[in-house]
Amino acid sequence: MRSSLIGKIEKARRYAKEPGRVTLSGLTADFHGENADHKIRYTDGRWHCTCDFFGHWDTCSHVMALQEMFRTELPAEALESFLEE
Ligand SMILES: [Zn+2]
């Protein structure tokens, strides 16, 4: 039992060095902006942010920041609005 757990831990450490194995299918975050805190979601292929700007433009500095932060972990469709810039 214990030796098989040790094997899993070793495998996990190897996996952790290979971020290409992971694609985020969803994400929720509390974003501490300069003026206020906002809640951000990426679910079912769509972004949402509680800030006013997002309501008019379907993107905002908070979403764009997360797209930059998680560029290698997000699926291509989650980066579309960022890449159009
Ligand atoms: Zn926002």
How would you classify the pairing of strands 46-49 and 27-32?
Answer: unpaired
Domain parsing of the chain, residue ranges = 23-83
How close is the Cα of 20 to the center of ligand 1, in Å? 27
Distance from Cα 18 to the centre of ligand 1, integer Å? 30
pTM for the predicted model, two decimal places: 0.82
Query: 47 — phi, psi (to 5°)?
Result: -90, 150
Cα of 82 vs centre of ligand 1, distance in Å, is: 13
Could you tell me which of 60, 83, 61 has the C-alpha nearest to residue 71? 83
Choose between 83 and 48: higher pLDDT: 48
pLDDT digits (tens, 9 = 90+) for 8-45: 999 999 999 998 899 999 999 999 999 999 999 999 99
